[in-house]
Structure 1
Amino acid sequence: MGEVLALVEARLRTALGEPDARAAVTFLGTDRIEVLRFIDGDLVRYATLGMSAQPMADPTAALADPVKGPRAELVLTVRAGLADTDKVLRPLAVLAATPQVEGVIVAPGASLDVGDPLWPGASFSSVLVAEPGGLVEDLELDEPMDPVRFLPLLPMTSNEAAWKRVHEAQALEERWLTQGTDLRDPRRGSVRLD
């Protein structure tokens, strides 16, 4: 477990630079999850560290495989200085603990919800898991372990989350794109959905 997390942290540092802050959260019955903060000009990036320590298990499997299975970490990028986004550390740790707590596999296209605003005054309580590979490349591990994927998170308003449940993730992403939505704006409202 420690070896995988050391490799993951090294990959994050290579892609994002040195973290300027980190926090750790432990939930009853789960492994420790850290959240690292990286400042990149006018952007702040938050990355989880700990979710990939164990593979995510298929909830329908009788036994969880301790070696094989998808592994991931979560990455959230927002514009710095527009909101108190550092309060997102605990919600991100909650999302990263979801595979251990709820026995789900977090994959692109999935919605994750914490039930409360991601940070004070945020109009988002959920996120859309986007496709990996852009900001931080997958981390290959020794066989038979699956690579660690770094999954970007896109904050969603409750209206967007409800619309996505009906129309699927790709349709929501297209709506954001065609309307020029700044997904990194921590103060943005819902995109037009009519």
Structure 2
Amino acid sequence: MRTALGEPDARAAVTFLGTDRIEVLRFSGGAAGEEIVRYATLGMSAQPMTDPTAALADPLRGPRAELVLSVRAGFADTDKVLRPLAVLAASPQVEGLVVAPGASLDVGEPLWPGAPFTSVLVAEPGGLVEDLDLDEPLDPVRFLPLLPMTPNEAAWKRVHGAQALRERWLTGGTDLRDPSRGSVSLD
């Protein structure tokens, strides 16, 4: 992460009962006038994600991931997203979820105070932070971008799918890094 994002300027750690420690790192930076803050989890990939229907969990094999959220700085108190991100990162251990591109993750409350978002869409990896290869037989760590969704967008995505929502965002010229944006037109 440091290679792609630089040095973190803040970090917080959360431990949930029965889980490994999850840290959320904050990376500030970007071009002048376009300050972007990135929040990345650290610790989600310590254990592979396993299918909750599997009879036995493989302690070595299985997908590994960390989560990355990018937002414009200075428009909202986005630093309060640290705990919700840690909750999402702990969900594979706590709930047996396999977090993959196209999935929706919901925290049931605003991602930060006043945020119009309570959930995120998991996007395809590889754009911002490249996969981290681990020694065999371990799967590589994938860095999954998170795209905040309004409740209306999340409901629409459940009916029409992730690709259809991404197309709506693209067609609507939606700034997915705007921490106070409204819902895209879903008519």
TM-score > 0.5 by shorter chain: yes
Question: Match of 1:93, SS?
Answer: helix
Matched ranges for 1:40-189 at <5 A? 40-41=29-30, 42-189=35-182
**What is residue 29 of structure 1 aligned with on the other side?**
18
Name the CA distance, whole Å, in 2 between partners of 1:99 and 1:21. Answer: 24
Q: What's the CA shift for 1:32?
A: 0.4
Name the CA distance, whole Å, in 1 between partners of 2:39 and 2:97. Answer: 22
Q: Is 2:184 the partner of 1:191? A: yes
In the comparison of the two structures, how many residue pairs are matched? 183
Q: What's the CA shift for 1:34?
A: 0.1
Q: Is 2:13 the partner of 1:20? A: no
Name the CA distance, whole Å, in 1 between partners of 2:15 and 2:42. Answer: 12
Provide the identity percentage.
87
Question: Match of 1:15, SS?
Answer: helix
What amino acid is the match of 1:71?
A: R
Q: What 5-or-longer segments of structure 2 have no aligned partner?
A: none
Question: Match of 1:64, SS?
Answer: coil
Name the CA distance, whole Å, in 2 between partners of 1:37 and 1:55. Answer: 24
Q: What 5-or-longer segments of structure 1 have no aligned partner?
A: 1-11
What amino acid is the match of 1:122?
A: A
What amino acid is the match of 2:170?
A: L
RMSD of aligned alpha carbons? 0.4
Q: What's the CA shift for 1:40?
A: 1.3
TM-score (norm 2): 0.97
Structure holding more helix per residue: 1
Q: What's the CA shift for 1:105?
A: 0.2
Name the CA distance, whole Å, in 2 between partners of 1:71 and 1:25. Answer: 19
What amino acid is the match of 2:29?
A: D
Name the CA distance, whole Å, in 1 between partners of 2:98 and 2:179. Answer: 27
Name the CA distance, whole Å, in 1 between partners of 2:97 and 2:15. Answer: 19
Q: What's the CA shift for 1:55?
A: 0.2
- The structure 1 segments of at least 4 consecutive aligned residues displaced by more than 2 Å after TM superposition are none
**What is residue 8 of structure 1 aligned with on the other side?**
none
CA deviation vs aligned residue, 1:6-63 (integer Å, no higher than 9, x gap): xxxxxx0011000000000001111100000000130000000000000001111111
What amino acid is the match of 1:180?
A: G
